[in-house]
Amino acid sequence: MTGTDAAPRHQWRGVIEEYRELLDIPQDTPAVTLGEGGTPLVESLWLSEVTGGSIWLKVEGNNPTGSFKDRGMTTALSVAVHQGAKAVVCASTGNTSASMSAYAAKARIKPIVLVPEGKISAGKMAQAIMHGAQVIMVRGNFDDCLTLSRGLAEDYPVALVNSVNPMRLEGQKTASFEVIDRLGDAPDYHLLPVGNAGNISAYWLGYKQYADLGRATKRPVMRAYQAEGASPLVTGKPFPNPETKATAIRIGNPASWKLAEAAAAESHGRFASVTDEQILAAQFQLSSNDGVFVEPASAAGIAGLLQDLERGESYAGKTVVITVTGHGLKDTVTALEGFGDVVDNVVDVSVEDAAAAAGLT
């Protein structure tokens, strides 16, 4: 068979073109896409052994800008451009700004980013800057930045693309579609980190839609985990000054609070908090056991699962999906904080010395 005789292979086209008929967006909206979605669902042999269940990782760090935010940004930007927007604005702890700036660059419109002063990792800041964003640092926290972003969108000709924009959730819900398409049905449980709470809301929206269409026989129990120092959904009240090393979920008053509570209640799920120490330990364990390197916030779901086991919860015989939301290269400084000297040994150009250093002799 020659190359010209081979059947054409389908290449992933991005979430809008893959799932357009299932998205509540104007159907004639041209897609502003970087090929987002289609991320791996990786079986965690480590956690499957630990739990006695079948544990899968939805690795969202494989999206174009390294986080799940790209799913919602393709829909938000596409609709905004379709409606005539010439500039977009967002409040961000890092990943939203990186994603928005990249998609704005693709669409050739102006990105305006508001970030809390000193509360964003260098890697995420670099992404926004390199994509041409106008970065404005605010003497305040994420919630202050979101208030300003809302004000700019109300009073000036810019489109707000934070997760309060319903178009964001339309894109993000496609991760649920991919999970079911890959597994053949919905999992028994879906675990994930929560910051601004758009993601749990979007996943639940997608799971419900596939079940209603008969593409799944069940809906999962949704369990979401926040950092202890920024856990308003756990305590039931906003955190005026949220603090955690997991910067992506350092949010004290989630914009999608009501939707997230509904997702937890309807799925018979719950919220719980984990400490920074648990998060960073889970980040290292995941990397060293499964080869999946995630940023600190992304490890909150892993830490939550391990905490559930410690408290007597059983996942034996269950299918569990855990969303890991962003790539570890987003924040290498925090990842390496507890390691001291990263390089174990320095040797001369000698096989014997290298073998000794590696413990092979």
Q: Running along the chain, 361 residues long, what does each successive block of 10 average in pLDDT?
A: 63 97 96 98 98 98 98 98 96 92 98 88 93 94 93 95 93 98 98 95 98 98 98 96 93 93 98 98 98 97 98 98 97 84 83 93 88
3-class secondary-structure state, position 90: strand
CA atoms within 13 A on the CB side of 131: 29
- Which residues is 59 bridged to in the sheet? 324
Question: In angstroms, how far apart are the furthest CA atoms of the chain?
Answer: 70
Closest CA to 236 of 250, 226, 221: 226
Tokens at 47, concatenated: 């956690």
pTM of the model: 0.93
Looking up tokens 């967002």 gives 90
What does the alpha-carbon distance between residue 310 and residue 254 come to, in Å, rounded to a whole number?
Answer: 28
Residues 6 or more apart from 40 whose CB is under 8 A from it?
Answer: 57, 58, 59, 62
What does the alpha-carbon distance between residue 38 and residue 70 come to, in Å, rounded to a whole number?
Answer: 11
3-class secondary-structure state, position 359: coil
pLDDT score of 5: 64
Instruction: For the beta carbon of residue 234, count every other beta carbon within 10 angstroms.
Output: 18
